[in-house]
Structure 1
Amino acid sequence: MAGPRAVDVGRAGLGAGLGLLLAGLALRSSGLGWLIAPLGASAVLVFAVPNSPLAQPWSVVVGNTLSALVALAVITALPHVDWAVPLAVGLAIGIMLAARALHPPGGAVALLVSLGASGDFAATMGPILAGSCLLVGIGVLWNRAVGRVYPFRQPAQLGPHGTHDPTPEERIGLDPSDLAAILEEYRQSANLGVADLARLVGAAEQAAAARRMEGFTAADIMSRDLVTVGPQAPLAQVADLFRKRGFTSLPVVAEDDRLLGLIFQIDLIRRAREDAFRQHKSLISALARLIDNHRAKPPKAGEIMETGVPQISPETPVGALLPLLADGGAEAVPVVDGPRIVGIVTRTDLVSALAQRLALVQAV
């Protein structure tokens, strides 16, 4: 396994410890006992590898519960038989696979129940079913709080634009059914989901595209003759430049060409929308007032510019721009030499560069 990042160590360790503590306290307060050992293994999956098919709520809750039920049935039918214990574990594994709820700690649940069950159904099933549900519920809250998605496979998720269309890089490639068939053929469906494989294939294709762009740098494709505005430029001037020049973004710079930020067309619309809500006006009237240069104190470019935009150097390979300018990412990336802006690369520039390189490859 690759070495973990410090943030992953913290998220997994703290999350598992907190999740087990809260689940245990909830079990105890409700009179269902305390934690059982297999829940520790479930916590490893839920908090350390929440995107694994083995860690999804169906696998955790149904896998553990079915395993306990199978073990109870076996030891009830075959009391005081030594080989009933391995039989219970084997049957539990088979039942979990049949129910598409494979969860490795379920084998430990079956072993624990068949070795030490008291015969009291409620006392045996209570901690297992309730503990599994509590652990999953806490896992959902924890993973989302630290920026991860759990459950990982959520149907009908909206894309970055609020639609069901996949992102552009996902539209050209293998269909989900093809990916599922590949996982099935190589017996990997228990270890990797279709969404995981799609991400890996997309990343590999992006890396391959970047490799084909070797030799191109930002300096080769950037716009150099820049039109810029200062932070004190009125928004009327900014809107006029957008209209006359056909730009979608403008760098905001200081007098020494030091980059301060970028202002996009959408920033004007967002500011006008905020003003419209605040002043109870229509969007059109708010936009007209926003770019009215005859106001006593017209708003300035520095008030609405974006300062957290990514920046690159002239030597940055064009391949590195693919994730930056992908759908949902930046619309334009400033090229800086130290604090000074020396160029800008837009999506149009990147598409043109890709088309040129593709033409060269096909010619060869």
Structure 2
Amino acid sequence: MGLAYLGALFGLTSFYLVAPLGATAVLLFCVPNSPLAQPWSAVVGNISAALVALIAVWYIPGPWSVGIAVGSAITAMMFLRALHPPGGAAALLTALNPELAFEAGPWFTVVPLGAATVVLVLCATVYNRLTGRNYPFRLPKEKPEHAPRLGLSTDQLSGLLERYNQTTNLGVADMGRLLAAAEAEAAQHRFNGTTCADIMTSDLITVNPMTSLKEAARLLRKHRIKSLPVVDAGDTLQGVILQADLLGMIAAQGRPLARKQQARQTAGDFMHSANQAVPHDLPVGVLLNRLAEQGSDVIPVVKGTQLVGILTRTDIMRLLLQGSKERVAA
């Protein structure tokens, strides 16, 4: 009704306004993540398409004017990176019956057509935010927490979309989310739902942040292990001490100053950050990619913030080798 009122106010019938804008509304409200539905595409696409069509029929009268008007409008939208399918409808309607547009002048592309599109974009923004959808859709400046684990950059994902001519159908962020979800699903099926908790080592030797480095080295040597998780009194993971990190300390034992410094150092001073810890219910297949990318030898497993186990490359290799004889025989 609002669009019809605008049409009557500026001397255009509601038919010529509602037809293309109805298609705009479908995109804005139903597929808000589509590149075709973004504010720039909607507003600039509708305005530029109608304006180019008006210029085309003004200077090219005759039977070819309609085709040239629509083709020129599509070209203009693509050049402006504002491809919007309803813009083609706006161009077609303008070319088929340009008299009313000529009477209103070039401003009809801005008011009411452009103004009505802006109103639709604003309404769609409110509606999509209230329903939990992200509109307008923008790529985050920082790397998202749940980024795709395929090792592909934004430019590489964009290149794939361009290679298969899908840039107008799917956004880079949407493609990344789909690929990440497919990867996680494939990993889940590959290992029959095996999680980190299923294969982790749960019988752990741990130290607290105040444990001396000498005691930490003694525990590593005694139990023939390569890492020592550092936890507080409530078993909350604080960090990890690796056997390799103590080699430098041992090499420096001949220097008196180094011996004095080492005598004062504790596990809390020497430990690595616990930011590589993984949740206990993480599928193992997903963890394989993390091991490959980060080159980690030891990964703490937590439930909430509490340490519940440790995963090593040996644990992963043991899982990979399960059933290997049956697969070779098959």
- 1:360 Cα shift? 3.3
Q: Are residues 1:190 and 2:168 paired?
A: yes
Deviation of the 1:29 alpha carbon: 9.6
Bigger CA radius of gyration: 2
Check conservation: 1:213, 1:354, Cα contact below 8 A: no
Q: 1:244 aligns with which of 233, 255, 258?
A: 233
Instruction: Select the residue among 117, 122, 126 that pairs with 1:137.
Output: 122
Whether the 8 Å CA contact 2:3–2:18 is kept in 1: the answer is no
User: 1:73 and 2:55 equivalent?
Assistant: yes
What's the offset of the Cα at 1:196?
1.2
Match of 1:111 in 2: 92
Write the mapping of 1:190-339 to structure 2, written as runs, cut at 5 A. Answer: 190-214=168-192, 216=194, 220=198, 243-247=232-236, 319=283, 332=303
Q: 1:55 to 1:124 in 2, by over 3 A?
A: closer
Q: Provide closer, same or farther for how the CA distance between residues 171 and 77 of structure 1 changes in structure 2, counting only shifts above 3 A.
A: same
Whether 1:91 aligns to 2:72 is yes
Determine the structure 1 residue equivalent to 2:154.
176
Q: Which moved more, 1:89-98 or 1:207-216?
A: 207-216
Superposed CA RMSD: 3.8
For 2:197 and 2:81, the matched residues in 1 are separated by 53
**1:155 to 1:25, Cα distance in 2 relative to 1, 3 A:** farther
Deviation readout 1:34-66 (Å, 9 max, x if unpaired): 542100001111111000011111110111111
Asked if 2 retains the 8 angstrom alpha-carbon contact of 1:89 and 1:107, the reply is yes
Please list the CA deviations of residues 219-267 of structure 1 after superposition, one character each: whole Å capped at 9, or x if unmatched.
Answer: 8469999xxxxxxxxxxxxxxxx9523237xxxxxxxxxxxxxxxxxxx
Point out where structure 1 has 5 or more consecutive residues left out of the alignment.
1-20, 157-163, 226-241, 249-311, 324-330, 334-344
- Paired with 1:101 and 1:90, the residues of 2 have a C-alpha distance of 15
Tell me the TM-score normalized by structure 1: 0.55
Q: Which residue in the other structure is 1:262 paired with? A: none
Looking at structure 2, the residues matched to 360 and 47 of structure 1 have their Cα atoms a distance apart, in angstroms, of 47
Provide the rounded CA distance (Å) in 1 between the counterparts of 2:200 and 2:5: 59
Listed as ranges, the gaps of 5+ residues in structure 2 are 204-230, 238-279, 288-301, 325-330
- Among all aligned residue pairs of Structure 1 and Structure 2, give the percentage whose two residues are the same amino acid: 42
| TM-score, scaled relative to structure 2 | 0.60
Instruction: Determine if the alignment matches structure 1 residue 63 to structure 2 residue 42.
Output: no
> Distance between the aligned counterparts of 1:355 and 1:131, measured in 2?
63
Q: What is the deviation of 1:346?
A: 6.8
Paired residues of 1:63 and 1:96 also in contact (CA < 8 A): yes
Q: What is the CA-CA distance between 1:354 and the residue it aligns to?
A: 9.0
Residues 200 and 311, structure 2, Cα contact 8 Å, conserved in 1: no
- Could you tell me whether the CA contact under 8 Å between 1:32 and 1:127 is conserved in 2? no
Residue 47 of structure 2 contacts residue 113 of structure 2 at CA under 8 Å; is this kept in 1?
yes
1:89-109 C-alpha deviation (Å, 9 max, x unpaired): 011111111111111111100
Which deviates the most, 117-126 or 42-51?
Answer: 117-126
- Which of 308, 312, 320 is equivalent to 1:361? 320
